Structure 1
């Protein structure tokens, strides 16, 4: 009787996904990945309220002011120390990403996320209960280890279950919760500041504790989900991979022609490289040695530098750092400063919704190119308005309002272009057997960029004021050139077909596109179809074949 109960329980927990329709299963997998990136979003946003809490500042010995009840106690802080205890989180994320890349490729996407959940919950508990700086630093590193797992595996898994026509929209749906939780954390921080006039330890301890909800929910959800079919193929579990793919694509119909075609394409790609030495470790991926025409080294550079330059050079972290200064200079009070910051991140939710509808039809390259130019333009304006806010006190409310308004515009542009692509691009350009480790390089760049930003942005604006925005305006123009020259398009192309882009020795985009078109011509010749029907077929394939895995939102 006991064995029968265990059998039924195991069947319910681990096979229940077979009873779901394809769209239901697909969205359930997206929900799991959304919970993963929700933690990272909340963890970013929560610091806005935590770092302005007087009790937190006192507990961590971060203030330059002796009087605890002075209005300047939480604002006049030890800049370097505050930046350091913030940035150490990204040190943990860097190592978490490296571990997660190996674990996810060797043990599976679900196992890697479960380990990440444990790290996140442990780190959150320690953050909420921190009694001094040393304990807080340890907590930040542990939480960072967890978020490194989340940020590597969630994009990897999302890319592997999404059809090429909707891969960008799938990422946007997942990362909608990321920006949503940044905004949620800011609004929670805004609400908690009214407890005991903002001096209560609840203001920051409860804010930290709430973030444990997301990894806890994810940990409970993961056992009832199937493993990625692409990962299963790397472990020679072909029947299981076909079964999962059929349930994600065609309501369990393993005889569906589109399912069979995709399965065979992925299987052929995996089998062609499974005996190569570069499938083990990171060094061959980073250097490209022994990878031949696959050019992993070039892909590693793109995966590393796109998130790095997004975080370190677009100016997204700078706007967060300098907004309180602008609000103060404009003569607005602390309450208004807090809700304006929360509103800025709420605007980011709208930008992510826009990304859902433009990132696939417009493409990754065009989105980044347009985003670079638009972000540069807004940075020039924000810089000029910021200087005027400080220089002309009698007009500071007007200039301050203009500055904050254009910060909102910048956030809208960033969240509709760079935000999604800096996460989904690294997950798209690597083959299945090393995809998680390739994504780990992207998260490494993200962690380095955010960590450095947490350290240098306060110092930059302390010394340069609003002129610091002009640096980011110039960097965005530089990024436009780099994207134009080196980033190939991945939108509407299968994860396996993207390999063709990197077969050429020339790293410039025009050469990679030329090689891809040659590949298409060879496919056309091999098919023996030279009429309009073939061209129509190719156009359908270029945007993802079936196109019904993700319905309109």
Structure 2
């Protein structure tokens, strides 16, 4: 592995990172089947089970939905803690060591979960498991972004999220198959799927030590010779350190690190959140963009569709088993749609992807909700209205997989300075944890109170996200990580001012590189705000 270079090394890193992302998807999808296992329901005292005949076996009925939701959502408290811990260690110890530490947390949590004997045991285990997942979520995308080229960075990470949804698919069908064991009451039905997550994590831990460290982190730590060697291997097929692309990228990173080290007092979470001493780099603005993009990702409706799709299938007149098949096929559609993201995320850019995704998702949710209402009002037309509602569920899932699934994960890995990039991405995971944990508890209440109108609420939020992205989220596709400071050094938070600032500073940097000015980029304090220029 250590001798690989060029495309072979590039794809190997992508596959290894994909193992961690596969685990992440599997871990999320796993609890859906665990929650319906009769033995799990009995052990955790969540309800009771009844025998529904030889074709269905024992079916669980939940009488303690709040307790069930608490077990699921407490995991996101763990991811919130883990991402903050991982962000600190990722910037101090490096990406490779931090990923190994996160994997150890996951192994301990998974072992405790699959052996849980009561609800307190299970909750503690899920917090530990969540901490490990938070570590990996904070660091793996950053590591991927820092080794990728600027023209394929989005596709590089998006391809890993194909494996993420493949993990969801594996979890679903594994648990579906285990439901046929005996009469469905075996504890294997829920303990084995929890234990199975250990397999990809062990494979990841075996491979990671053989992977190269992020060259950007190495330069930040003063290990320039190692960084040059790794950049040579990444950017040329023969590992040539004098490859022009590698040399130029190395020089850009060195110049950026020198600039950022002048403002090291901003590198605590509190300092980043409030923008203290950031020297005009506006770290607090980047934090807010990362956190809210991940929160909005949950509010555009994916959690609602996941919860409500089986209900739509059942009310359409499909038997329990057929509804399960449809849910599984929906997951496969979800996975295949992520391949469209791999193709489009760098070609169309992040902003266009979020825009067309929001439009398609909003329309799909509103129509799915409308046909679900008609389905209730006219049960005699269950096949027509139910089929239409199911179609828009599939359509929503496909559009989300092609757009909003991946972009909010890519964006935070690109926008922060190298000095605080791992911590910056951790803020994105904080937003994801808040959004997920919040809606895990809120969705059942919303569906209980307003039913299918919940889909209309989330449909409207999709359309509201369009002006938010247009005004505040600048394009990051096909720009190097070192160029992101040019965008955010504008004092104005609006995209049009940031783009003008980017063009001006890019021209100055190019002129400096060609020797028409000094090689060193202008300090943040020297930046003339675009708004001031207009005045």
- Name the TM-score class by shorter chain: over 0.9
Instruction: Tell me, yes or no, if structure 1 residue 181 matches structure 2 residue 167.
Output: yes
1:248 positional shift: 1.1
Pick from 258, 281, 285 the counterpart of residue 272 of structure 2: 285
Does 2:387 align with 1:401? yes
Distance 1:73 1:131 in 2: 21
In 2, Cα distance between equivalents of 1:365 and 1:81: 39
CA contact (8 A) 1:60 1:132 kept: yes
Deviation of 1:529 after TM superposition, in Å, equals 12
Structure 2 counterpart of 1:547: none
2:244 matches 1:260: no
Among 307, 315, 322, which residue is 2:294 paired with?
Answer: 307
1:113 is displaced (CA, Å) by 0.6
Q: Which residue of 2 aligns with 1:8?
A: none
Whether 1:202 and 2:178 are equivalent positions in the alignment is no
Q: Which residue of 1 aligns with 2:530?
A: none
Find out whether 1:498 has 2:484 as its counterpart: yes
Partner residue in 2 for 1:548: none
After superposition, residues 379-458 of structure 1 pair within 5 angstroms as 379-458=365-444
Mapped partners of 1:509, 1:302: distance in 2: 12
Structure 2 residue 184 is the aligned partner of structure 1 residue 227: no
Q: Which residue of 2 aligns with 1:270?
A: 257
1:214 and 2:173 correspond: no
8 Å CA contact 1:120–1:142 kept in 2: the answer is yes
Q: Does 1:295 align with 2:279?
A: no
Query: Does structure 2 conserve the Cα–Cα contact (< 8 Å) formed by 1:124 and 1:143?
Result: yes
2:6 counterpart residue number: 22
Offset, 1:382: 0.7
Match of 2:178 in 1: 192
323, 331, 355: which one aligns with 1:345: 331
Residues 246-299 of structure 1: CA deviation (Å, up to 9, x unaligned): 111113111112111100100110122224233532111111111022000000
Shift of 1:526: 5.2
Secondary structure at the counterpart of residue 152 of structure 2: helix
Q: Which residue in 2 is equivalent to 1:12?
A: none
SS in 2 for 1:314: helix
Contact map agreement 1:187 1:339 (CA 8 A) in 2: no
Kept in 2: contact 1:93–1:447 (CA 8 A): yes
Residue aligning to 1:13: none
Contact 1:158 1:171 in 2 (8 A): yes
CA contact (8 A) 1:249 1:259 kept: yes
CA distance in 2, matches of 1:526, 1:439: 31
SS in 1 for 2:173: helix
Q: Secondary structure at the match of 1:147?
A: helix
CA distance in 1, matches of 2:365, 2:481: 35
Other-structure match for 1:515: 501
Give the Cα separation in 2 of the matches to 1:181 and 1:144: 16
Find the aligned partners of 1:133 and 1:76 in 2 and give their Cα distance.
15
153, 160, 174: which one aligns with 2:139: 153
Is 1:95 the equivalent of 2:75?
no
C-alpha distance after superposition, 1:393-422 (max 9, x if no partner): 111232222112111110110011111111
Question: Which 10-residue stretch deviates more, 520-529 or 91-100?
Answer: 520-529
Over residues 438-493 of structure 1, what are the superposed CA-to-partner deviations in whole Å (9 max), with x where a residue is unaligned? 00000000011111111011111111111110100111111111001100000000
Q: How is 1:21-60 mapped onto 2 (pairs within 5 angstroms)?
A: 21-60=5-44
Aligned residues of 1:229 and 1:245 also touching (Cα < 8 A): yes
CA RMSD of aligned residues (A): 1.7
Residues 278 and 285 of structure 1 are in contact (CA less than 8 Å); yes or no, is this contact kept in structure 2? Answer: no
Corresponding position: 1:80 with 2:66: yes
How many matched pairs?
A: 511
1:74 is paired with a residue of what secondary structure?
Answer: strand
Take 2:41 and 2:248, find their aligned partners in 1: how far apart are those partners?
A: 59
Contact map agreement 2:46 2:68 (CA 8 A) in 1:
yes
Q: Can you give the 5+ residue segments of structure 2 that lack an aligned partner in the other structure?
A: 517-535
The residue correspondences of 1:312-351 to structure 2 (distance < 5 A) are 313-351=299-337
Deviation at 1:521, TM superposition (A): 3.5
Indicate if the aligned counterparts of 1:373 and 1:476 stay in contact, CA closer than 8 A: yes
Shift of 1:327: 2.0
**Deviation of the 1:523 alpha carbon:** 4.5
Q: What is the TM-score normalised by the length of structure 2?
A: 0.93
The farther-off stretch of 203-212 and 276-285 is 276-285
Instruction: Give the distance between the partners of 1:262 and 1:403, measured in 2 at CA.
Output: 50
Deviation of 1:76 after TM superposition, in Å, equals 3.6
In the TM superposition, structure 1's runs of 4+ consecutive aligned residues that sit over 4 Å from their partners are 70-73, 523-530
Bigger drift between 358-367 and 197-206 goes to 197-206
* Contact 2:266/2:276 (8 A) holds in 1: no
Counterpart position of 2:451: 465
Aligned partners of 1:127 and 1:436: how far apart in 2?
28
Q: For residues 315-335 of structure 1, give each alpha carbon's deviation from its aligned partner in whole angstroms, at most 9, with x where no partner exists.
A: 001001011211221222221
Measured in 2, the distance between the counterparts of 1:270 and 1:278 equals 14
CA contact (8 A) 1:96 1:145 kept: yes
Whole-Å Cα distance in 2 between the matches of residues 135 and 256 of structure 1?
A: 55
Residue equivalent to 1:541: none
Shift of 1:75: 3.7
Deviation of residue 28 (structure 1)? Answer: 1.6
